[in-house]
Amino acid sequence: MQLYNTLSAKERAALIEEAGKDRLTLSFYQYAKIENPQEFRDHLFLTWNALDVLGRIYVAHEGINGQLSLPADQFEAFKNHLDTIDFLKGIRLNIAIEQDNMSFLKLKVKVRPKIVADGLNDETFDVRNKGIHVGAEQFNELIEDENTVLVDMRNHYESEIGHFKNAVTPDVDTFRESLDIIEADLREYKEDKKLVMYCTGGIRCEKASAYFKHKGFKNVYQLEGGIIEYTRQVNDKGLDNKFIGKNFVFDERRAEKISDDVIAQCHQCGSPFDIHTNCANDACHLLFIQCDACKEEMNNCCSTNCKEIHALPYEEQKALRKGQKNSNDIFKKGRADHLPYKKDLRNIFETLAQKK
C-alpha cells in the first residue's frame, strides 16, 4: 500500500505534460477536532493519490490546511470525497486566480502539531470566538472607514509585492511573530477602532481574530476567504479592486497578479519588479526579488560569491557543502545584507501615525 510520494518533481512534470490535461489549483482549510490525524492523513493520501491530486496538505488535531492541484476532470470526484467527511462537507474551495499545470509536482500530506505555526497555546482562549467574517463588498466599505485599522496578517515578503490600500504591513518573518507585535502596537485602539484583518486564504486570520478578541479588542473583523476569495467576488460582482500588486502564493507560481501595479523592486538593482526567485546556489536558495537583467548577469544567484560557487562543477559544489548547515538566509526570505534594495516595510506605529 503506497502511502507516500514516489516520483521526483521532474518525473511528475513529464507525466503532466504527457497527460495533456488542464489542472486546477485550489486551497481550503477547516478547523475541526481530528482524533487520529495519522489515520486521517493516510486515508486522504490513498484517496487523493488515486485522483492524481498533488500539493501540500497539513493535518493536525485542530484541523486541515490544504493547497493543491488536480486534473480539472476530477474536480467533482474530489468535491464528492470531501462531502463524505462531516467537517468538510460543502466547504468553500478557493480556486486560484491564475492557473498553472505545474503549480505542484508532488503530493505531500503531513501530520503536524498545528495546521499553521502560530506559537499559541490554544488552551488559554476560546478559538471558536472568532471575528466577524465579511465579504468583498463590506470589506471595501470597512477599509474606507476612518475608524478602521486594516492589518495584513502575512509576512514581509508577501506584502512587499502586493497589499490592500492603506494596510498596515508588519515587517515580520513569521505569523507567530506578528501576533505579539500587532497586539502591542495597537493596544491603544482596542476599544474604539475596528480591527480588520486579511491574509491569503483566511486561515491565519481565523485563529488571529479569536486571539485578538481574547486580548481585549472589541471590534474584530476578517476578510472571508482572504485575498483569493476577495478577488473572485470583485471580478464576479464588478466591485472596485482595493488590492494593489500581486498576491504571493506558496507553490511554483509564486504569485498571482491582482492588479497591474508593480509596487516592489529588484533587490539587486532597484528597478521595478515583483517576481521572486530562489538563489541557484544549492547551499543558499535565498528567496529574493530579481529582475530579468540581474538574473542574466548573476546567473540566477543572489551574490557574486553564490555565482562563483554555482559556476563550479557539481561535485566541487557538493564537496563544499559537505558538513555545512544550510545558510540562515534560506529562512529569512529576502533578508540579507548583500541585497541593497530590499525594502524594509513600515512598522505599525509609523503607518498609523501617517493616517492621523
Annotated catalytic residues are: 199
Q: Are 111 and 52 in contact (CB under 8 A)?
A: no
Nearest to 95 by CA among 243, 256, 302: 256
Question: Residue 49 has what DSSP assignment?
Answer: H
DSSP one-letter string for 51-71: TT-EEEEEEETTEEEEEEEEE
Q: Which amino acid is at 26?
A: L
Nearest to 5 by CA among 55, 43, 80, 72: 55
In the sheet that 54-60 helps form, which strands lie side by side, from edge to edge?
94-95, 23-31, 63-71, 54-60, 107-111
Q: Give 249: exposed, middle or buried? Use CB within 10 Å, 0-12, 13-18, 19+.
A: buried
Query: How far is the C-alpha of 330 from the C-alpha of 288, rounded, in Å?
Result: 10
